[in-house]
Amino acid sequence: MRNMSVDLCGVKLKNPLIAASGTFGFGREYDELYDISAWGAIAVKGLTDEPRAGNPPRRIAETSSGILNSVGLQNPGVDAFIRDELPRLASRGATVIANVAGSTAESCAEAARKLSDSPVAMIELNISCPNVKQGGAQFGACPEDAARVTAAVRSVCSRPLMVKLSPNVTDIASIAQAVQDAGADAVSLINTVTGMAIEARTRRPALANITGGLSGPAIKPIALRMVWQTAGGVRVPVVGMGGITTGTDAAEFMIAGATAVMVGTANITDVMAGPRILRELEDFLDENGIEDAGELTGSLILD
């Protein structure tokens, strides 16, 4: 019998596929279509300590090989999530990863503290958010800031802590090493790549925020490279994401060093992407005589 389960920081996932934060929301819409507990885990929409309305529209623009978004972390806040969404997810048997963000290290820590008292399996800290105290820079833009916010969250977080890294940096492996040393149990990468789109006829930006985060197949080669570089430089598990649309894509990220993978934009372009990619990954293992999905992790041959 093929074994699809993987261990992520002591959390056993039934398979390596995780619904990425953002595009899967809180799983309500997908729950009407299939059993969402089929995912190894669900990383819910990014949560902040207080509710956020997000950015003004237009917030999403399609590109030739992905999408640009500047949603702006619209969410109901941690308290509402724990009260209204988490019980429903738990009743479905889903393994829940709570994604948290904030404008300050203190607000990130407060959100994580509240979630640590809830039945989430793991917390994913998004450090690709505006850092108000640093003039609008991202927490994840330099090792020092990344370590500082990770340490603040680690001090109040009783759950396994995974830190989501930004690709919009010079050396992502150094950021990963900094958050590892500050107490992260795992890292996930990559978040979206900063980009923009222009409507030539109107000569206006396609997004109200002008720039946004590019996701989808266009960023897969960038993501693969960064996952491989990071996996070779840290001791903690790596969760890979960025343009995964097929089971073979998922296998490639694991071969590059990922313990598990996240599927994001594919859930928008194909609402049945999760079950399909899982079947394709299972087929890949069978076709290649692999009995344990974990055998793929870090198996890249370089000679």
Per-residue pLDDT of the chain (303 residues; tens, 9 = 90+): 799 999 999 999 999 999 999 999 999 999 999 999 999 999 999 999 999 999 999 999 999 889 999 999 999 999 999 999 999 999 999 999 999 999 999 999 999 999 999 999 999 999 987 656 666 568 999 999 999 999 999 999 999 999 999 999 999 999 999 999 999 999 999 999 999 999 999 999 999 999 999 999 999 999 999 999 999 999 999 999 999 999 999 999 999 999 999 999 999 999 999 999 999 999 999 999 999 999 999 999 998
pLDDT of residue 138: 82
pLDDT of residue 131: 57
Contact 103, 131 (CB under 8 A): yes
pLDDT of residue 109: 97
Instruction: Report CA torsion sign: 68, 71, 72, 75.
Output: negative
Q: Which amino acid is at 155?
A: S
Strand order in the sheet with 193-196: 60-63, 66-69, 211-215, 193-196
Q: Looking at residue 83, what DSSP letter applies?
A: I
Helical residues (DSSP H) of the chain, grouped into ranges: 28-31, 78-80, 86-91, 105-116, 143-154, 172-181, 220-231, 247-255, 266-269, 273-287
Q: Looking at residue 38, what DSSP letter applies?
A: G
Q: How far is CA 126 from CA 123, 151, 295, in A?
A: 10, 13, 28
User: Is 129 a residue of the active site?
Assistant: yes
Cα–Cα distance measured from residue 173 to residue 95, given in angstroms and rounded to the nearest whole number? 28
The helix/strand/coil state of 293 is helix
Contact 247, 287 (CB under 8 A): no
Instruction: Report CA torsion sign: 73, 79, 82, 84.
Output: negative
Domains of the chain: 6-54+72-193+215-296 (3.20.20.70)
Q: Active site residue: 9, 108, 129, 157, which one? A: 129
> For the whole model, what pTM was predicted?
0.97
Which residues fall within 8 angstroms of residue 171, CB to CB, at 6 or more apart?
none
Which residues fall within 8 angstroms of residue 206, CB to CB, at 6 or more apart?
58, 61, 68, 196, 197, 198, 199
